Amino acid sequence: EILLTQSPGTLSLSPGERATLSCRASQSVSGHYLAWYQQKPGQPPRLLIYGATNRVTGIPDRFSGSESGADFTLTISRLEPEDFAVYYCQQYDTSPLTFGGGTKVDIK
Amino acid sequence: EVQLVQSGAEVKKPGESLKISCQCSGFIFTSYWIAWVRQTPGKGLEWMGIIYAGDSDARYSPSFQGQVTIAVDKSSTTAFLQWSSLKASDTAMYYCTTSYSRVNRFDHWGQGTLVTVSS
């Protein structure tokens, strides 16, 4: 099973600031099979990024994904008020599919 | 528009059985896989299993194998998650999601069904 470790657990930032979220896999995730989700209170997760770097249609371009080996990064270039939420990574390279523990981005 | 509408919140006692549902619309049901994901404060998001709606081929996470049953009804384009004997540790929010293949990302999500198991 591929374990995903997200850091930091909480990121306290102000609107307009840049957010950098990390997701480290316990082993190589081949084929860039890594997705990012956003979850707000009382809502289901929403897919933002797939294939490590591809934005879902309709997701603002302030959200971007990158990878370097087993390390994946979600960057929000300038935080908008609606971006304060919890973010999860998920690998879909091998079964069982696994999620990271999440990073909460809250208002400083 | 893709929609996954889940059944309402449930409160059950340990040992009771339960079947929750996920009514799907806006896509070709029999061409997709439907997965179930559990969310708890302690363990976060956990993939439970997935089923191909076209032929009911179901696969389970080792953590949930034998604990739950996933099924679909093609006539009503509905997916189900079922327990035969609930435990307190089954208390969680459960989401159904769509996937293009057996091992893939989750594109669309239901609104969630909160299951509470308490004596």
**Separation of alpha carbons A66 and A106, rounded Å:** 22
Average pLDDT over residues B7-13: 98
Q: Which of B2, B52, B106, B109 to mutate to test the interface with A (most CBs of A within 10 A)?
A: B106
Q: What is the DSSP letter of A32?
A: G
Smallest Cβ distance to A44: which of B35, B62, B109?
B109
Q: Which residues of A touch B103 (CB under 8 A)?
A: 33, 92-95, 97
Average pLDDT over residues B28-43: 97
Residue A53 has pLDDT above 80, yes or no: yes
What is the structure's pLDDT at B72? 98
Please write the tens of the pLDDT for every residue from A75-89: 999 999 999 999 999
Residue B117 has pLDDT above 80, yes or no: yes
| DSSP state string for B32-82 | SEEEEEEEETTTEEEEEEEEETTTTEEEE-TTTTTT-EEEEEGGGTEEEEE
Q: What pairs with residue A46 in β-bridges?
A: A38
Q: Which residues of B touch A45 (CB under 8 A)?
A: 45, 95, 106, 109
What is the structure's pLDDT at B102? 87
Residue B59 has pLDDT above 90, yes or no: yes
Q: Which of B69, B76, B83 lies closest to B14 in space, CA to CA?
A: B83
